[in-house]
Amino acid sequence: MIKLIIFDFDGTLGDTRRNIVTTMQMTISELGLSGRSDDECASKIGLPLGGCFEALYPNESKETIQRCADTYRRIFQENLQTMKPQVFPKVIETLSALKQQGYTLTIASSRWHKSLSELTSDLGIADYISYIVGADDVEKAKPNPEPVLKTISYTGFDANQTLVVGDMNVDILMGSNAGAKTCGVTYGNGTKQELEEAGADYLISNIDELMEIVNLGY
């Protein structure tokens, strides 16, 4: 029986694609780097911030990649003043229903912990989330299982009681590498094919479909 549900944030709970891609493009422009398309930028969502830019610019120095990450964080916070992200449809209702049914709900994200805390509060979902693991809370990021294992250790559940929900292949791989069940959401930044190839146990096109999956009890 599933008791613990670990959610990714960007592209799973929060509809932040526009914020992320816009900020990445502004960062690239400010630092004078060669251009990348919106789709190229979006395809890196889910990686740690430095990893996003390293994947886009594999030949750049570590110093340049760090400048990208620092510049991105500054611009992202500035953009929040005029570009407010939203939760995906039915997220609040689904989280509320799951919590009422006794499931423990947490987040494991490649976003920094402080940003996650602020966004979950701003989006009205903080009260449903019992524990947050951000990129700066672990040594090894997705697809390494450390974020899931850290959450399992904190909450006291076992991997076979855990479901990881995310929109990118790194989310699915993170969950399966930890021995947990996995559910891919197809409305986010990853494709259905990528989620299938990563080995997702379940695929859903709307977050409220999660209710049926967890209530099946495997």
Contact assessment for residue 131 and residue 106, using Cβ atoms and an 8 Å cutoff:
yes
Burial class (CB in 10 A: 0-12, 13-18, 19+), 58: exposed
Q: Under DSSP, is residue 86 helix (H, G, I), strand (E, B) or coil?
A: strand
- 8 among known catalytic residues: yes
The helices-and-strands tally (H runs, E runs) of the chain is 10, 8
Strand order of the β-sheet with 202-204 is 131-133, 104-108, 4-7, 162-166, 181-185, 202-204
Closest CA to 189 of 40, 30, 26, 22: 40
139 secondary structure, DSSP code? S
Kindly give the residue spans of alpha helices, DSSP state H, lying in the chain.
17-30, 38-42, 49-56, 62-79, 91-100, 113-122, 146-155, 169-177, 192-198, 210-216
- 136 among known catalytic residues: no
Q: Is the peptide bond before 143 cis (omega within 30 degrees of 0)?
A: yes
Q: Kindly list the catalytic residues.
A: 8, 10
